[in-house]
Amino acid sequence: MASIKVTDKDFQSVIQSDKPVLVDFWAAWCGPCVMMAPVLEELSEEESEHLTVAKLNVDENPRTASAYGIMSIPTMMVFKNGKPIQQLVGFMPKQVLRGRLKGVL
């Protein structure tokens, strides 16, 4: 399953899941965000049984980004049952990301 796009409007309903949800806070003008996109798409495909990957454009959805104190992008937050359980900042190769998500996957 490919990643899903979320907005300020549907963010809360998306993160209310028994399955962990990794939210990528990103923007189109952000070089590291663009580099991170294919890594997250691959992870989304490979781990679809264990993890939902969602993308939130911070320029189009500033309310949610502000509510979670997003100061740098890309920032990836993992939510479980609506609560943030992990935060990762910056570009990282897929194997590094997998290692950091080991307790979640």
Tell me the CATH number at 87.
3.40.30.10
> Could you tell me the pTM of the whole model?
0.95
In a domain, 104, yes or no: no
- Give the tens place of pLDDT for each residue, 7-16: 999 999 999 9
- Asked whether residue 99 is assigned to any structural domain, the reply reads no
Domain assignment of residue 105, yes or no: no
Active site residue 105: no
User: Is 102 part of a structural domain of the chain?
Assistant: no
Comparing C-alpha atoms, which of 89, 94, 86, 81 is closest to residue 45? 94
Indicate whether 87 belongs to any domain. Answer: yes
pLDDT band at 67 (very low <50, low <70, confident <90, very high): very high
Annotated catalytic, 92? no
Alpha helices in the chain (DSSP H): 11-15, 31-46, 62-67, 94-100
Residue with tokens 């399953």: 1
Annotated active-site residue in 30, 88, 104, 105: 30
**Position 29 in a domain:** yes
Catalytic option among 6, 21, 23, 33: 33
Q: Which domain holds residue 82?
A: 4-92
Q: Domains in the chain: how many in total?
A: 1
